[in-house]
Every structure is written in C-alpha cells, then in structure tokens.
Amino acid sequence: MLVTSKQMILSAQKNGYAVGCFNTSDLELTKAIIAAAVAQQAPVMVATSEKAIQFGGIAALAALIKEEAKNASVPVALHLDHGKSIHIVKECLDAGYTSVMFDGSELFLDKNTQMTAEAAKLAHERNVPCEGELGHLGKVGVSSNQLTNPDDVLEFVQKTEVDFLALSIGSSHGVGSDEKLEIELLKKINSLTKIPLVLHGGSGVPDGDIQKAISSGICKINIDTDIRHEFTKDLREILKEHPDEQDPREILAEVMQKVQTLVEKKIKLFGSNNKT
C-alpha cells in the first residue's frame, strides 16, 4: 500500500531498526525493490533523485511507483531524494509523492534553514513529511564531506520543522575506500534531539558500522550506488552468458532477481524485515 514515510520511520525509531530507502529510476529497479520488501515483509521507501526524474519523467515515474506500491502487501512510500529547489519539491508533491527531502546542504546555514522551512511547510500542507540535511555529504571522487555540527542541530530542527534529519557522519555518496562512521558524533546528536536521524551514502559503509549506526539512532538508510552497480554488473554477466538471447525480458528478469536479492540482504541488515 502507498503510505507516507512518517509512521514507518517513527516505528523504526521506536523499535530500534532502520527503514531502507532505495533509489530507482525505472520499472525494473522499482519492481525489484518492492518485490524484496514484500518477500521480507518490510516497510520500504522507493526514492527518485532529480537525475532519475530527468531520466524517467516525473509523471511516468510517479505513476509507475504509485501503482506498484498500491498493489504491494507492505507499506511503500514514494520519496524525493535530494530535492535541490522548491520547484522540484512542489512538482513531486503535485505528482503524489508521499515523502520529500529538501537538500540545502550546499548552501550557507541561514539559507539552508530558510529554504528547508519553506519546503517543509509546502509538504506539511499536504500531510507529507519532509527531510532536511545538515552538514554536507560529499560524493566519492568528486567532493568532500562536511560533518554535521551538533551545535547547529537544535535550531535547524526547530526553525525548519522537518520530520527527519539527514546527517553527515563519515559516509559519502558512492562507494569509497574508507567510509567509517563517526559513531560518537552520531550519539552526541541523538542525545540532543528526538528527531529521527537519517544515514545517506549507505553503499560502501561496512555492515558493522551500519549496525552501530542503527543502535545509535539512525532509523532511515539510503542506498543507491550498490543497486546501480548490482544491476550493471549482472546485466553484463548475463549478456555474456547468453550472447544469443534476443528478448530483453528474459535478460532483465534475471537481473531483477539479483537486485531483489541484494535489497533483501540490506533489509535484513537494517532489521526492517517482518516489521509490517
């Protein structure tokens, strides 16, 4: 069923696990993510970045994900990942997204606070929760991290009225060689606020650190790169194994099965299996 992300994340926070937020940009990944959630009886968030929206088109992507969600036997939220403008937040709300993120982490703190508050207000008018980001998560090989400053947390949360807060605590977007989490920093932030905390850049973080992060207050974890890498790796292998196969559906069904297996593994790692 299609739901907002609010209740599933609050339940995760209360019961000490994390909801997986998995990125898609097409039919195959969407179906594989939702099939994994159904197989594991897990609440799940299906996310689209701005790049995915450019690739798939907002109307087509939203319609596809909402339809798959409605037919699923588990709670599914349709989430905007890293919306960088008020315009894209509005577009997603109009398209029926049930969860949004405004990412002002590249802006000065005042501007991030002001624009995130504006995005949260728009989302709340539609009863949709909004996530903000404080500190900045870099991209492997492109930009560096700016860790979240605990001194900024309370004021940011109060002024923006966001529902969930994404932190920068050592992970990066992409798969880096050393994505060790600053667990003490996370614990400190978690002791300051009751807001559910979000870990971005989940690919490349060792499983042990993921588990420590969950027990220290993280209740939503974003995974993108691992899924894209799994898809392209499997596609190459399967095409090589079956050089004469002419039906894309035969090839893609096998790839989707492998992506589903990966997502199921993540769900179990996050402890969100059997939580519907």
Region 90-149 residues binding ligand 13P, contact defined as CB under 6 A = none
Residues 185, 154: Cα–Cα separation, whole Å: 15
Residues 235, 248: Cα–Cα separation, whole Å: 10
φ/ψ of 23, rounded to 5, equals: -85, 140
Among residues 81, 103, 163, 234, which one is catalytic? 81
Residues 265, 276: Cα–Cα separation, whole Å: 17
Q: Which of 20, 83, 202, 217 binds ligand 13P (CB under 6 A)?
A: 202
Q: Return the closest-CA partner of residue 214 out of 154, 271, 157.
A: 271
Q: How far is the CB of 22 from ligand 13P (least distance, A)?
A: 9
Q: Which of 30, 99, 145, 225 binds ligand 13P (CB under 6 A)?
A: 225
Largest Cα–Cα distance in the chain? Answer: 60
Q: Which of 201, 213, 219, 276 binds ligand 13P (CB under 6 A)?
A: 201
Q: How many residues does the chain have?
A: 276
Q: Is 246 exposed, middle or buried (0-12, 13-18, 19+ CB in 10 A)?
A: exposed
Residue type, 93: L
Q: How far is the CB of 189 from ligand 13P (least distance, A)?
A: 17
Q: Which of 28, 174, 212, 261 binds ligand 13P (CB under 6 A)?
A: 174
User: Could you tell me which stretch among 70-78, 111-119, 150-158, 217-225 binds ligand 13P (CB under 6 A)?
Assistant: 217-225
Q: How far is the CB of 220 from ligand 13P (least distance, A)?
A: 10
Q: Return the closest-CA partner of residue 182 out of 220, 137, 141, 131.
A: 137
Region 39-58 residues binding ligand 13P, contact defined as CB under 6 A = none
Provide the b/e sequence for 3-15 (b: ≥16 CB within 10 Å): bbbbebbbbbbee
Q: Which of 78, 119, 223, 267 binds ligand 13P (CB under 6 A)?
A: 223
Region 72-91 residues binding ligand 13P, contact defined as CB under 6 A = 81-82
User: Could you tell me which stretch among 92-100, 114-122, 196-204, 255-263 binds ligand 13P (CB under 6 A)?
Assistant: 196-204
User: Could you tell me which stretch among 28-36, 56-64, 149-157, 195-203 binds ligand 13P (CB under 6 A)?
Assistant: 195-203
* Residue 68 in tokens: 């798959």
Q: Would you call 234 a catalytic residue per the annotation?
A: no
Query: Which residue lies nearer to ligand 13P by CB, 125 or 142?
Result: 142
Q: Return the closest-CA partner of residue 190 out of 5, 10, 13, 45.
A: 13
Q: Which of 66, 173, 266, 275 binds ligand 13P (CB under 6 A)?
A: 173
Q: How far is the CB of 34 from ligand 13P (least distance, A)?
A: 18
User: Do residues 80 and 97 lie in contact, with contact meaning Cβ atoms separated by under 8 Å?
Assistant: yes
> If you ran DSSP here, which 8-state letter would residue 195 be given?
S
> If you ran DSSP here, which 8-state letter would residue 2 be given?
B
Decide if residue 275 touches ligand 13P (CB under 6 A): no
Decide if residue 222 touches ligand 13P (CB under 6 A): yes
| Residues designated catalytic | 81
Task: Give contact residues for ligand 13P (rule: CB under 6 A).
Answer: 23, 81-82, 173-174, 200-204, 222-226
